[in-house]
Structure 1
Amino acid sequence: MTTEQNTGRVALVAGATRGAGRGIATELGTTGATVYVTGRSSARDGGHRSEVDRPETIEETAALVDAAGGHGIPVRVDHTDPDQVRALVERIDADHGRLDVLVNDVWGGDHLLDWDAPVWQHSLADGLRQLHNGVDTHIVTSHFALPLMIRHPGGLVVEMTDGTAESNADFRRGTSLYYDLAKWSVLRLAVAQAYELREYATTVVALTPGWLRSEAMLAGFGVTEETWRDATVDQPHFAISESPRYVGRAVAALATDPDVARWHGQSLSSGQLAREYGFTDVDGSQPDAWRYIAEVEWAGKPADVTGYR
């Protein structure tokens, strides 16, 4: 990819404060795109943090987009608030008159999870908040952004989720009804929008990273991106994990593929697209997490990433 491939194109990464959203925004920057990065955590006006209460900010993400060769524009937006999302899209329209790439990556639900708790034991308020944060936000953003996107052919909508349609087919230990419903809902949003946009030359996909080394994940293991392999002592399967830049490169590859419409309506993973487009993670490897999880971890085999990264 060259930095000219997306020059003049405009992207919105909704939920770009950290994690996959930050990696996606940064990699879109490498293609020369103008990238609006949104979220609730901002360093401006005395600083604001979302309910997730982590230190990362949208301004930091925008700076990474700039450093990568694009133009990052941070805008503090709560995507559960239709008025704020409407104002954001109106600003993009006024500034550029177009939107070429929409990445719906808003989640903000990890702190609300109670893994393995059945629905009658899980906090109802926390469960419903997960759905509000992780599903309603995608619908609100698409409602306002898609009319701007379809003005110009060749747009790309990426619905970010956790797991492919195949890997999520079975409800497994270590999840919860609310989390499962949130992530399945996003997969279904991609299918429905693909149908609705079938005549508008706009491609819609669902995309999942593998085991993501987000800032929160690294903190939970007490490691950094530089020392992440130390976490495999306690969790050997973490050896298949990937950086947020990996799924970012997946989105950048889709956004610069003139034949991207061949993926329309499909459920994709970062590892799958790495094999298709030939990109690697930051360490030069190509982790194929979902194949590994199914064939090794869920099969009860000892951790061994040979042939999987």
Structure 2
Amino acid sequence: MALSGKVCLVTGASRGIGKGIAIQLGEAGATVYITGRSSSPEAAVLGGSLKETADEITARGGTGIAVICDHAEDEQVKQLFEKIEHDHGRLDVLVNNAFSGISVTTKESRLGHRFWEHEAEPGEFWDMINRVGLRNYYICSAYAAKMMVKAKQGLIVNISSFGAIRYMFNPVFSIGKAAVDKMSAFTAQDLKPHNVACITLYPGAVLTESINRIIAEGSNPTITENFKVAGTPEYSGRAVVNLACDKNKMAKSGRITITADLAREYGFTDVDGRQRPSPRQLNVILGIAGYKWLSSMVPNFIYVPNFLLALQGSNF
């Protein structure tokens, strides 16, 4: 119950990574606000609901509070933070996770469209991916910072992905993720004097409901192969809990962190007791690239240094 008495907010937590993070924060004893839209076609297919997540948070030892919020609507977002401030007068942890671009991104990438070929108008396509994502991350961070700066403490975690440093799906997706990473770095500079940390988290491969469904259907052999050693959504939840409890987390402020690397640093495992491989492990990278025979010969302890990963995203 390391986070007993703490107030947290996880956006987009009815399922997937957001749900896993919210549940683990609850297991650590926190009061956890979770958001999601009241209904969506995707939710009907994949299952899961805000109420179910809130109930599980409470069952794990925390207090789950579900708030219906469409993060595409600025006024609803503002009211969400006003509610938290009214109810508790504080916010200790914000996890920016809500993202509406997955379905359109995967659909368009399957169709093989280039960025000028999408059916939607350019501005509309941008908003479909980055309005509930990059833009909303910034808005939520600004509202959260007002409470955290006042309290002289706090943690903002922005969920991003390796699409930020290499082309993934389409340019708009990768542009948004790269901008999230930069947003963390630059907002961290403003927050540093106030003892508020802002950290980017790359969960890596995660067995979300949609991925599990694809694996069960056998409809995408590539995904089935690449997600053999993927972590559960709660693996990233344990990473966020450990970040929140870290008295030296300001040293990580503005930086990109990876769930599997944090697991080794802090000494936690996934909920099944396993230690997942890091996307920085050379054998993992070789395996994904298709060099299975070479991958099997490389020891697990050989990692690609962070500066080499950073060079992937460098255009100098």
Instruction: Answer yes or no: same fold by TM over 0.5.
Output: yes
Q: Identify which range, 125-134 or 135-144, moves more after superposition.
A: 125-134
Q: What residue in structure 1 maps to residue 250 of structure 2?
A: 261
Aligned with 1:87 (options 67, 79, 84): 79
Q: What CA deviation, in whole Å up to 9, does each residue of 1:223-262 have, x standing for no partner?
A: 7xxxx9xx97973232221100100000011111122112
Q: Which amino acid aligns with 1:18?
A: R
Deviation at 1:295, TM superposition (A): 3.8
Q: What residue in structure 1 maps to residue 175 of structure 2?
A: 181
Q: 1:240 to 1:280 in 2, by over 3 A?
A: same
Q: What residue in structure 2 maps to residue 118 of structure 1?
A: 114
Matches within 5 A, 1:200-219: 200-219=194-213
Deviation at 1:154, TM superposition (A): 2.6
Q: Identify which range, 120-129 or 150-159, moves more after superposition.
A: 120-129
CA contact (8 A) 1:32 1:70 kept: yes
Q: What residue in structure 2 maps to residue 45 of structure 1?
A: none
Aligned partners of 1:101, 1:154: CA distance in 2, in Å?
Answer: 9
Structure 2: give runs of 5+ residues left out of the alignment: 302-316
Q: What residue in structure 1 maps to residue 36 of structure 2?
A: 39
CA contact (8 A) 1:80 1:140 kept: no
RMSD value, Cα: 2.5
Q: What CA deviation, in whole Å up to 9, does each residue of 1:66-95 have, x standing for no partner?
A: 111100100001112111111111111111
CA contact (8 A) 1:92 1:98 kept: yes
Percentage identity across aligned positions? 33
* SS of residue in 1 equivalent to 2:155: strand
Deviation at 1:52, TM superposition (A): 6.0
Q: What residue in structure 2 maps to residue 247 of structure 1?
A: 236
Q: Which amino acid aligns with 1:19?
A: G
TM, length-normalised to structure 1:
0.86
Structure 1: give runs of 5+ residues left out of the alignment: 42-47
* SS of residue in 1 equivalent to 2:83: helix
Deviation at 1:143, TM superposition (A): 2.3
Matched, 1:20 2:9: no
CA contact (8 A) 1:232 1:238 kept: no
Q: What CA deviation, in whole Å up to 9, does each residue of 1:176-235 have, x standing for no partner?
A: 111111211111111121111111100110001111101111112227xxxx9xx97973
CA contact (8 A) 1:13 1:25 kept: yes
Aligned residues: 289
Aligned partners of 1:298, 1:151: CA distance in 2, in Å?
Answer: 47
Aligned with 1:72 (options 43, 64, 67): 64
Aligned partners of 2:291, 2:252: CA distance in 1, in Å?
Answer: 32
